[in-house]
Chains A and B, each alone.
Chain A
Amino acid sequence: QSVLTQPPSVSGAPGEKVTISCAGSSSNIGAGYDVHWYQQAPGTAPKLLIYGDMNRPSGVPDRFSGSKSGTSASLAISGLQAEDEADYYCQSYDSSLSAHVLFGGGTKLTVL
């Protein structure tokens, strides 16, 4: 079980907005450590989607947005498109663990 908890799946119709949560604790997200998000389409390597809680790398559409509050973070995807169907992972750091990098368990987004 991952230290960062994500829902296994979410779904939405084209054009809708979905939100994926990433629940942590006081030693990771709640301690203020940055949260990053990745998109992984089938058969491909993960792609950085959001870094530093809410920043988009160049080329990532503004339909993707990140936020953080307390011990949780969220990824919102608005104006859903068919090509958004993928797995999404959050990532952060934990000060209480020896692990240098933490990933959430991943969320499968299905576009209906």
Chain B
Amino acid sequence: QVQLQESGPGLVKPSQTLSLTCTVSGGSISTNSYYWSWIRQHPGKGLEWIGNIYYVGTTYYNPSLKSRLTISLDTSKNQFSLKLASVTAADTAIYYCARSQRILSSLSVVPGSLNSWGQGTLVTVSS
């Protein structure tokens, strides 16, 4: 069974770049069956999709974060990563990585359910 694990600094200074890595075990990220996703949750709030990456490197970003966001993957390490630039206190959140099934829905191939999640990592933006 696939497992995902987030790693990275728990504290980032304002204006710096938040960098997280998700290590996937029990399955390869080089598969056409899934998107690899980042989701965050501000303290006490709901889930916010950050972005997806497909194994060939195609990325899909939340428009509200797109100008600061880079998602990449390292197939040799079976990892994918998130970089969010110019962070502020508003970026303080729990960050989750997850695996999203690619499905045929309403005649289009779209992200389906997020069927595997990492445990999440709290990132605090503070000086």
Contact = CB atoms under 8 A, between A and B. Distances in A.
Interface residues of B, number: 30
B113 A89 contact: no
A103 B49 contact: yes
Contact of B49 (A36, A99, A105): A99
Interface string A15-35: 000000000000000011110
Contacts, number: 78
Given A33-B106, A95-B108, A99-B62, A48 B115 contact: yes
A106 B47 contact: yes
Contacts of B49: 99-103
A61 interface: no
Most central of B35, B63, B112, B113 by chain A CB within 10 Å: B113
Q: Which of A93, A100, A104 has the most CB of B within 10 A?
A: A100
Interface stretch (B11-19, B24-32, B75-83, B117-125): B117-125
Contact of B47 (A44, A47, A93, A103): A103
Contacts of B118: 45
Nearest to B104: A34
Given A101-B100, A102-B49, A48 B105 contact: no
B115 A34 contact: no
A61 to B, nearest CB: 17
A51 B115 contact: yes
Secondary structure at the A interface, as helix, strand, loop or mixed, is: loop
B110 interface: yes
Interface of A: 2, 31-34, 36, 38, 44-48, 51-52, 57, 87, 89, 91, 93, 95, 97-106
8 contacts: A45-B117, A46-B96, A46-B114, A46-B117, A48-B113, A95-B106, A98-B61, A100-B60
Interface of B: 35, 37, 39, 46-49, 51-52, 60-63, 96, 100-101, 103, 105-106, 108, 110-115, 117-120
Given A100-B49, A101-B39, 11 more contacts: A34-B105, A47-B117, A48-B113, A51-B115, A93-B105, A93-B110, A100-B51, A101-B37, A101-B114, A103-B46, A104-B46
